[in-house]
Amino acid sequence: MEKKKRIVNGLRIAQALASDYISIYYVDIEDDSFIEYRATDEYQELGVERAGEDFFSVSRRNAMRLIHPDDQAAFIAALDKETLLSALEGERTFMLNYRMMFDGAPRYVQLKASRMGEGDERHIVIGVLSVDELMQAREALEKLQEEQTAYSRIFALSADYICIYTVDLETERYNTFSATRNYEDLGLDKQGETFFADAHRDCIKAVYPEDQSLFKAMFTRQEVVNAIRETGMYALNYRMVFSGAPVYVCLKAAIVVEQGREVLIVGTTNIDAQVKRDMEYARDLSIARMQANRDALTGVKNRSAYLDVEAQINRRIREGEAVRFAVVVCDLNDLKQTNDSFGHQAGDRLLKDACAIICRVFKHSPVFRVGGDEFAVISQGHDYDHMDELMDKMRQSNARNEAGGTIIACGMARYEGDPSVAAVFGRADRRMYEDKKTLKDE
């Protein structure tokens, strides 16, 4: 009986974790013995022990040899037995990202530890999954954001002024303090008695036609003075026309006191290059963000995107909002067998087929690939209201594919006042395993 139980546990581990895990450990937390399941050839070449009597000591010893020096301390602290078991008491799942060394080069991996559950509190499952591609995409996104901040700061220190005016606020008499050749070519008055009235008159010559209404509405004495009194500065972005071409500019104004009189200082700065860089950055950021949240193989959203949505819903739960959602967990049957028998290209086609079925059924809900052969759906609105019908469609799909087609085990759970999305996911996950067992028995 004990042998049979161990075999069943092994099958459950292999099915529960993604097919692209580097290594999976089944750990007895009473005596710290462990067995390694299904390590990749690349990982086996690192000389990691496949079984032993003191998992946590072995892990610490391996860490000094296999983990990037900058990540060793965090790994050793997290994999302390008492610390890990304490973390698993709450959500029953613990994750840690760090870098392992392969052929002298660091690669990001993710450690995921889970309780076995369902009456087996003695064992935990620990899997190590490659997340290098995801982390690199995130780093690229962060780098773009840092560059954008740096360019903004450089611009603030090296502004390119087009023109500067001084205006007596009491009389509105004004003089041009400095102006570029392009600005002088516009033929505007360099001094006058009615600054704001002259600015509205001259905007026909100087301001891009599509922005003239904005300029007239926003650049008035009342708007400028009120903004300065409230915030210390007035600013307005619009386009001017130089040599027949629109150029983005920023008009800024502030009040200083000179010889007891309030003087308005108005400066117009060329921000055309910055605005165009910002537009380019916005496009790059959009592409990087999409890549960071998209699964390369199936095209649906990935684990990172799922965690973002999970965090948003958790915030709404904490703030006491009335939320209605359901989580569906789907797991593809026989992916490992397909990979082993026909190669990973066949396995990839099977994953795409499974993803297409899930997307077709839950067409009003976001679909996420959260593991190698595991998908999650967060349903609200239309799909939530028709959840029973959609789950029946998944069962009908499995019935049609019994003779060698794509079989997908599914479990669904609705939010019922749970403390977090993870709790709903956990119920759906357990029901998925029940469905998987039923499908295999059939």
Q: Quick one: CA torsion of 140, 145, 146, 151, rounded to 10 degrees?
A: 130
d(CA 377, CA 369): 9
Burial of 315 (0-12, 13-18, 19+ CB in 10 A): exposed
- Asked whether residue 299 falls in the same domain as residue 347, the answer is yes
With respect to residue 343, please indicate whether it lies within any of the assigned structural domains.
Answer: yes
> 165, 202 in Cβ contact below 8 A?
no
Which of 97, 130, 163 is where one domain is finished? 130
Number of domains in the chain: 3
Is residue 193 domain-resident?
A: yes
Q: Which residues contact 196 (CB under 8 A, 6 or more apart)?
A: 172, 219, 220, 221
Per-residue tokens: 189: 């008055």
Query: Is residue 419 classed as helix, strand or coil in its secondary structure?
Result: coil
What burial class does residue 339 get, using C-beta atoms within 10 Å of its C-beta: 0-12 exposed, 13-18 middle, 19+ buried?
buried
- CA of 124: how far to CAs of 3, 50, 77, 85, in Å? 18, 16, 18, 9
How do the residues of the chain divide into helix, strand and coil, expressed in percent and rounded to 5?
Answer: 50, 30, 25
CA distance 223 to 145: 33
Query: Do 307 and 257 fall into the same domain?
Result: no
Residues 14 and 47 in one domain: yes
What integer pLDDT is reported at residue 149 of this predicted model? 55
Does residue 299 share a domain with residue 270? no
Is 106 among the domain residues?
A: yes
Q: Is the same domain home to 181 and 254? A: yes
Q: Walk along the chain (442 residues) and give the pLDDT tens digit of each residue.
A: 454 455 445 445 444 444 567 788 888 988 999 888 654 555 444 444 467 888 999 889 888 989 999 999 999 998 898 888 888 886 667 888 999 888 888 989 888 888 876 677 788 888 888 888 878 777 766 765 664 454 344 434 445 778 888 899 999 999 887 667 888 888 888 889 999 999 999 999 999 999 999 999 999 999 999 999 999 999 999 999 998 999 999 999 999 887 788 989 888 888 888 888 887 887 877 777 777 788 889 989 999 899 999 999 999 999 999 899 999 999 998 888 888 888 889 889 999 999 999 999 999 999 999 988 999 999 999 999 999 999 999 999 998 887 778 999 999 999 999 999 999 999 999 999 999 998 887 7
Q: Is residue 135 part of a domain?
A: no
Q: Which of 243, 237, 272 is nearest to 182 (CA)?
A: 243
Please state, as a whole number, how many other Cβ atoms lie within 10 Å of the Cβ of residue 7: 10
Helix (H) or strand (E) holding 397: helix 387-400
User: CA-to-CA distance for 274 and 149, rounded, in angstroms?
Assistant: 11
Residue 196 buriedness (CB in 10 A; 0-12 / 13-18 / 19+): middle
* pLDDT at site 4: 42
CATH number at residue 273: 3.30.450.20
Cα angle 66, 71, 75; round to 5 = 80
DSSP secondary structure string for all residues of 74-115: HHHHHT-HHHHHHHHHHSSEEEEEEEEEETTEEEEEEEEEEE
* Paired tokens of 424: 């709903």
The SS3 call for residue 147 is helix
Q: Which residues pair with 311 in a beta bridge?
A: none
Residue 407 is assigned to a structural domain of this protein: yes
Burial (Cβ within 10 Å: 0-12, 13-18, ≥19) of residue 431: middle
In a domain, residue 284? The reply is no
**Does 142 reside within a domain?**
no
Return the SS3 of 340.
Answer: helix
Burial of 107 (0-12, 13-18, 19+ CB in 10 A): middle
Is 317 found in the same domain as 254? no
Q: Residues 380, 424: one domain?
A: yes
CATH number of the domain residue 368 falls in: 3.30.70.270
Statement to judge: residues 85 and 122 lie in one domain: yes
Is 47 in the same domain as 183?
Answer: no
Residue 427 domain boundaries: 295-441
Residues 185 and 262 placed together within one structural domain of the fold: yes
Check residue 46 and report its DSSP letter.
T
For residue 94, list its beta bridge partners.
113
Q: Residue 51's pLDDT is what?
A: 73
- Are residue 122 and residue 182 in the same domain, yes or no? no
Query: Under a CB-based contact definition with an 8 Å cutoff, are residues 47 and 66 in contact?
Result: no
Q: Supply the pLDDT for residue 152.
A: 43
Please list, in sequence order, all residues whose beta carbon lies within 8 angstroms of the beta carbon of residue 233, skipping any fewer than 6 positions away.
227, 252, 253, 254
Residue 286 lies in a domain: no
251, 333: one domain: no
